[in-house]
Structure 1
Amino acid sequence: MFLKIKDIPKVYWSSEKPLNLKPKISTFFFLCLGLVLFGLGEGLLIVSFAGASPWSILAQGIALNVDLSIGIITVLISIGVLFLWLPLKQKPGIGTILNAIIIGLMIDVCIKFIPTPENYLNQLILATIAVLTVGLGGGIYLVANLGAGPRDGLMVGLQKKTNLPIATVRAFLEITVMSIGWYLGGTVGIGTLLFAFGIGPSVALGLYLVGKTFN
């Protein structure tokens, strides 16, 4: 059952180590494919207008209490999360850098070219598709093993420390972040709840599908 998956699968195109500056073409391709899907999902969630992701809610909540923009706070949060990698012994790679670049570009593409559904039910459907897309993209790029983004690296590190299923660890992280953001004044929508409770199982499903498909 994919909800019980604990380890990142290793397939023929997985890198042997995260810090690999000369990966195989297939490894680099799947890294980029996963990040494109991840960014597409993040962008779809934004244009669905059903509610932002928990980490965006956290940035919004902090911004209401300090004199900094949401963008700057988002960067500072990412840096702070990277520092949390140290006791978890997580290692960065080219995927850590490409994570920010590709996902950011895909979010901009979504905002520019994909319209927000007028019907609220369709907005919720789009938000659900967004969460599943993020999960699939996350599964693909994590299996590439070329370095995770700040949040995913934190998830993997905590999983190794606790030995809990990945779905459980990610859900705990997202729900905690959402709760703090809401307490600080951030606006939580149905899409936020869908993401917080659904991203853990979605990432686990993505990892399971990639592992089954390429093994």
Structure 2
Amino acid sequence: MSAKLLQLLLGLIGFGVSLVLMVRAGLGLGAWDVFHQGVADRLGAPLGGVTIATSALVLLLWIPLRQRPGIGTVCNAVVVGLVVDLGLAVPFAPDSLAVRVLLLVGGIVLNALATACYIGAGLGPGARDGLMTGLAARGHSIRVVRTLIELTVLAVGFLLGGTVGVGTVAHALAIGPLTHVLLPKLSRTPTVRKG
């Protein structure tokens, strides 16, 4: 197995574990995960399965945008969801607020590290990131596109019953700066290292 592929898989596994930690904290999830959880609750489906299905649907939106998936895109669509379902199958429901806060903080930090790890491998963006960059490539501001997508999935997820709370705000505020610091350290492509 190549070093890039190993880094990709470690990043995706870490990403799935980070989501499990945040779900167990019960203090709020990132925007897309609020959406996944809301849909999963409404359908009575496993959270990881909904994450995989959402990735597949988002990938269909790549077609008119002429985005091309890489091996990282395909792995992202499957591995994260499988890890989430495996992790949530382990019974663990912390009562202590201190433990829940630690799970939340650990989940956010691991999420950023895992994101930097799998993006840094340079084997293709995740479905949701590719949608954002594909729309931005059509002449739209990446900030505007990202914000509109995140707010839309957050609102829909909240209406469907996904967990919104202090963790949602903490994730929104911390994930960008943390990933910005970590990505250059884990990047295997010169263009990302420079950015």
Which of 196-205 and 90-99 deviates more?
196-205
1:175 to 127, 151, 167: 151
CA deviation vs aligned residue, 1:43-81 (integer Å, no higher than 9, x gap): 21122222344334324545787xx44457555532331
Conserved in 2, the CA contact under 8 Å of 1:174 and 1:197? no
User: 2:137 aligned with 1:146, yes or no?
Assistant: no
Separation in 2 of the partners of 1:117 and 1:76?
29
Where structure 1 has 5 or more consecutive residues not aligned to the other structure, the ranges are 1-23
Q: What is the deviation of 1:156?
A: 3.4
Q: What is the deviation of 1:178?
A: 0.9
Say which structure is richer in helix: 2
Q: Percent identity?
A: 35
Change (3 A) 1:171 1:37: farther
Separation in 2 of the partners of 1:184 and 1:115?
24
Where structure 2 has 5 or more consecutive residues not aligned to the other structure, the ranges are none
Conserved in 2, the CA contact under 8 Å of 1:43 and 1:111? yes
What is the letter of the counterpart of residue 182 of structure 1?
F
What is the letter of the counterpart of residue 54 of structure 2?
I
What is the letter of the counterpart of residue 40 of structure 1?
V
Separation in 1 of the partners of 2:148 and 2:104?
20
User: 2:55 aligned with 1:78, yes or no?
Assistant: yes
User: 2:27 aligned with 1:27, yes or no?
Assistant: no
What is the letter of the counterpart of residue 179 of structure 2?
V
User: After the TM superposition, which residues 72-151 of structure 1 pair with which residues of structure 2 at under 5 Å, given as runs?
Assistant: 74-112=51-89, 115-151=92-128
Separation in 2 of the partners of 1:45 and 1:60?
12
Question: Which residue in 1 is equivalent to 2:185?
Answer: 209
Q: RMSD value over aligned CA atoms?
A: 3.3
Question: What TM-score do you get using the length of structure 1 for normalisation?
Answer: 0.67
Question: Which residue in 1 is equivalent to 2:25?
Answer: 48
User: After the TM superposition, which residues 158-197 of structure 1 pair with which residues of structure 2 at under 5 Å, given as runs?
Assistant: 158-161=135-138, 162=140, 164=142, 170=146, 172-197=148-173
Separation in 1 of the partners of 2:81 and 2:37?
18
Question: What TM-score do you get using the length of structure 2 for normalisation?
Answer: 0.73
